[in-house]
Structure 1
Amino acid sequence: MQFSKTLLWLAALATPLLTTAQAPKTTTPVVAGKDVAVVSTESGKVRGYVHNGTYTFKGIPYAKAERFMAPTKPDTWTGVRSSTTYGPVCPIDPTTTVNDEIEFSFQHNWGYMNENCLSLNVWSPQLTAAKAPRPVLVWFHGGGFSAGSSVELPSYDGENLAKKGDVVVVTVNHRLNLLGFLDLSSFGDKYKNSANTGMLDLLASLQWVKQNIAQFGGDPNNVTIFGQSGGGGKVTTLMNAPSAKGLFHKAIVQSGSYLSSFTSRALAQKVGAAMLDELKLQPSQVDSLQTMSYERLSAASKRALRKVNESLKPEERSGFGLGWGPVLDGLFLPYQPSDAAARELAKTIPLLVGSTKTEFGPFNPANRETDLNNAKASLQKRMGDKTDAYMAAVRKAYPETAKASDYLDVDINFRAGAIRQANQKAVADAAPVYMYLFSWASPVNDGMYKSMHCMELPFVFDNISRCEEMTGGGKEAHLLADRMSRAWVAFARTGNPNHKGLPNWPAYNPQTGATMLFDNTCQVKNNPDKELLELALGKPL
């Protein structure tokens, strides 16, 4: 904390022109103006603003792209480009209704949609390098590969994390759903990159960071990519992409270890062909998809995905069904994650990986008002004669189990995915792996949210006050956020998340299964839920 206080004290003594290192002397939280926070990039100068001493830039274009085409360098500009508001988000199906109790906790900002959405946001304590260059953390948002944006949740704001850790934080918008992952490669070389344009956008954002982030006070040679849910899947994908090698140096996957394989090119091409069929187009008319309205394309894509899903053999179906996501195209992605060549790519990349204790369980209204008899009956549909043993294993793994709903809400799948990814990475690898489990339960709304999917985000970004509807904003939440955000910063700085506010956190290996449990009391346990997971999955981990 003392170092952060020193930074703020220095900021208060700075001169009015922010093209130098520090923020101006001011008594107001926001400083903005024509000579404030001006930075040169490869494409031209951008002007941000200063908020509470933190330099803030929003909506900076990092690339441009035509529909279904790989991104290219953004257009250059003369003068100074104002970059003080978030850029557009990728078009998705509009939200027309929400669950009031769930939305209360999330407080979504849906942004405004435009296909010209390749922009990023930057938060930095200073615009010149410190004595030691500042680590850079690049955030990829959740929403699978179909939805979401860098502005979607209040927890994504990077100011507090940048200030807390003396780091530079970057968040990214990119193409999603059919705009990012519709494989039209069977219709000509023009569309050879169409299956992974959404991931090529993220690659372009990292290339932008490599070329420009030093101007914002960041170290291009110490970049950590991190993401949650679909963002974690994007991190995993980039770890398997040869063209991304050298653009990042550490990786964090939060509740996003579900991506164990990429869609085959043949299967992805079936979806592209089904799209044309749904639109009653011949292969020679494929170019018309570039000018068709997004709404029409989206409607056709849903029908195409449904038809291809229905045609799949059981062995071809994943747990989530066929949807939008990265494709094994032989170009951007030449290997499956389990291939030795893929593992070799990320061999020197330290990995921090984990999930939350209850993930999606609290989203099910039926789980909330259940009693023990109903909970047991529900479990019997899944566990059969192993139900009593399963409930005992839940209590053993989580001694705090008290409510009937606790037996239903415990996550199995995301946790098992994190262990699978950690095991695969930790075996004979040159870089360490660190495992966590977020088990803190929110007190808001009678505790209905527990440690649901996304609950750890305000803690990682140190944004408890921005997310009081989700966290309650209490003292315990702030204390845990301090411990977690410092761990993420320590990992970004050195590849090791240990700091004085936590008990010793050993690197993970499949034998010990060392896992940091983030709660009001943080502690490390070895294989804390192995018995429970193996019982639920019916196989060894």
Structure 2
Amino acid sequence: MKKVIRTSDFPIVRTKQGKLHGYQEDDVFHFYGIRYGRAKRFQLPEPEPKWDGIRDAKAYGYICPLMPEEEQPEESPMAAPGNSFEMQHVYWPMKEQCLYLNVWTKHLDKEAKKPVMVWLHGGGFSCGSSIEIPVYNGHNLCDYGDVVIVNLNHRLNCLGFLDLSSFGEKYKYSGCVGMADIVLALQWVRDNIEAFGGDPDNITVAGQSGGGGKATALLQMPPADGLYHKVISQSGALRNRPDTNIADEKKHWQTLGEKTVEVLGLTKKNIDSIDEIPYETLAEAVVQAGKELGMPQGMMLFEPSPVEGYYEGLASIVGFREETKQIPVMAGTVLGEFSFMHYLGDKKQYTEVEKYNILEQTYGKYTMSIIKEFRELYPKLDILYALSVDTLFRLQTLAFLNQRSQFSKAKCYNYMMNFIIPYMDGLAPWHCSDIPYVFRNVEMEPAHCTGYQYAEKLQKKISKAWVAFMKKGNPSTRSLRWSPYTKEHPNRMIFAEECGIEEKDDTKLLKLISR
């Protein structure tokens, strides 16, 4: 049974804004719902003012309001609550004032100087929260690695990334205030993390999916310089768009803002009233505007919009900033991502001819070439898993690493998680399935515990590598030695039943599958 301690005067931490009262669970201190700032709609955030007395820090803070979503068919494996077996979700009270963060630590001594990981949640730039997925809980990783874990909520979707800059200086930053919130949270970490036993000079920013995208976006933000020292992007590299220019990119996001204002029936003369429009009305208008413009829907509708001197834009368009040359990066993906949903049952029931015929239905004349490449890359996997190979996240991640490794003085590291989960007769790892292993929370996810004999061993190897990277910018451990990634030597760490580094380029397979 867990041992929880909370008395009238313990544990209490003094931050620069005021005192916080959390609780201790076994050897880990928990401080939840710490307010790090406030923000008016579409404006840059401001730090939380100082307060008198002691604030409770035992419950999570509000999360950002979510966009209206199209319902999934009940039989869809992506439908909630059905998909909670594969990846559990938690929904929480929502409010526009959502700038809250959480801290897990084993020390309340300023001299402890432990490495810090600031975790950015997934959900694109549109949805999600710091507690949406229970396996974001930092207790186990904090306890195992003796590191400080921070995660946070920030503005999302139209509240954080709707570019209204066409309507005047007041809205100059509106297309990236969600990223500004993250910068403010990092400033809070710099100013206060010592009180939680953390080292403000050893901060790793990490995230998965949209969180990984946010982590890499920080590399393009001058106001974030000096606030972090390493980056981990899990299935989260932003779009690779070398064929466009920054002016067109900016106009793309401004157009969505302009169309939204048009849908709302507003003009430049009365644009200020957009600050008071009910959130639901605003969100519905953005969705309608996106549809009228033929833009991607759902989580893909939003990204940060460039603002000169604040967020410079995608590195694939403008290049990386010189100020980030010394920052090491680790980036990778899982084999299946959103392509994992091929319920073919026990693969042993098919003959080789039947397997070929199944693959041919999807890949046509490229089937034989795909089988050849797949077997060279994954000799221990059944060829039917070629149906589950993700191309979207993997291609973007490799493009990011190729560009970054040629630019950076610091090293880049790449990984591929291709462990097969016995659930449903064996599935390739899906989008988000890596998170429990990083946070040492595999037991929280039923799908990962269905006859999975090496889950505990794999969890240890993965979390140990992440902790090593947090500590020294190199994920190598005694049991797993990593070689850096370069375009000439595309080394990748394989996380599977047998783990190890290999120099193999999967670009050819990805391009064949993408045809």
Q: Which TM-score applies when normalising by structure 1?
A: 0.87
Is this contact kept in 2: 1:137–1:492, CA < 8 A?
A: yes
Confirm or deny that 1:251 pairs with 2:228: no
Is this contact kept in 1: 2:44–2:181, CA < 8 A?
A: yes
- Note the alpha carbon deviations across 1:444-487, whole angstroms, 9 max, x for none: 23324x21111110111111122233444855111111111111
Confirm or deny that 1:444 pairs with 2:423: yes
- Note the alpha carbon deviations across 1:44-97, whole angstroms, 9 max, x for none: 111110112100011101110011111001132211000111111110036766
Counterpart residue type for residue 286 of structure 2: S
Q: Which moved more, 1:223-232 or 1:395-404?
A: 395-404
- In 2 relative to 1, CA 269–100 (structure 1 residues): closer, same or farther, beyond 3 Å? closer
Find the counterpart in structure 1 of residue 179 from structure 2. 199
Q: Return the match for 2:379 from 399, 421, 424.
A: 399
Q: Supply the distance in 2 between the matched residues of 1:376 and 1:443 (Cα, whole angstroms).
A: 21
Q: Supply the distance in 2 between the matched residues of 1:241 and 1:402 (Cα, whole angstroms).
A: 43
Q: Secondary structure at the match of 2:320?
A: helix
Is this contact kept in 1: 2:102–2:150, CA < 8 A?
A: yes
Find the counterpart in structure 2 of residue 44 from structure 1. 18
1:254 Cα offset (Å): 0.4
Is this contact kept in 1: 2:448–2:455, CA < 8 A?
A: no
Confirm or deny that 1:177 pairs with 2:157: yes
Q: Return the match for 1:270 from 235, 239, 255.
A: 255
1:373 Cα offset (Å): 6.0
Equivalence map 1:487-506=2 (5 Å): 487-502=465-480, 504-506=481-483
1:331 Cα offset (Å): 3.8
Is this contact kept in 2: 1:37–1:48, CA < 8 A?
A: yes
Structure 1 runs (4+) greater than 4 angstroms displaced: 94-97, 318-322, 364-371
Percent identity, aligned pairs only, is 37
Q: Which moved more, 1:217-226 or 1:388-397?
A: 388-397
Counterpart residue type for residue 203 of structure 1: V
Gaps of 5+ in 2: 73-78
Gaps of 5+ in 1: 1-26, 311-317
Q: Supply the distance in 1 between the matched residues of 2:53 and 2:299 (Cα, whole angstroms).
A: 49
- In 2 relative to 1, CA 178–340 (structure 1 residues): closer, same or farther, beyond 3 Å? closer
1:258 Cα offset (Å): 3.4
1:117 Cα offset (Å): 0.7
RMSD: 2.5
- Note the alpha carbon deviations across 1:245-286, whole angstroms, 9 max, x for none: 110000000001133357722221211111111111222221
1:537 Cα offset (Å): 5.0
Find the counterpart in structure 2 of residue 142 from structure 1. 122
Find the counterpart in structure 1 of residue 141 from structure 2. 161
- In 2 relative to 1, CA 116–309 (structure 1 residues): closer, same or farther, beyond 3 Å? same
Q: Return the match for 1:57 from 13, 31, 35.
A: 31
1:428 Cα offset (Å): 4.5
Q: Secondary structure at the match of 1:105?
A: coil
Is this contact kept in 1: 2:117–2:205, CA < 8 A?
A: yes
Q: Which TM-score applies when normalising by structure 2?
A: 0.91
Q: Return the match for 2:195 from 199, 212, 215.
A: 215
Find the counterpart in structure 1 of residue 75 from structure 2. none
Q: Return the match for 1:527 from 495, 499, 504.
A: 504
Q: Return the match for 1:424 from 390, 399, 403.
A: 403
Find the counterpart in structure 2 of residue 309 from structure 1. 294
1:407 Cα offset (Å): 2.2
Is this contact kept in 2: 1:128–1:217, CA < 8 A?
A: yes
1:387 Cα offset (Å): 2.2
1:419 Cα offset (Å): 1.3
- In 2 relative to 1, CA 471–343 (structure 1 residues): closer, same or farther, beyond 3 Å? farther
1:321 Cα offset (Å): 10
Which structure has the higher relative contact order (CA within 8 Å, separation 6+)? 2
Find the counterpart in structure 1 of residue 76 from structure 2. none
Find the counterpart in structure 2 of residue 454 from structure 1. 432
Is this contact kept in 2: 1:69–1:194, CA < 8 A?
A: yes
Counterpart residue type for residue 378 of structure 1: Q
Q: Secondary structure at the match of 1:489?
A: helix
Q: Return the match for 1:151 from 123, 126, 131.
A: 131
1:239 Cα offset (Å): 0.8
- In 2 relative to 1, CA 111–278 (structure 1 residues): closer, same or farther, beyond 3 Å? same
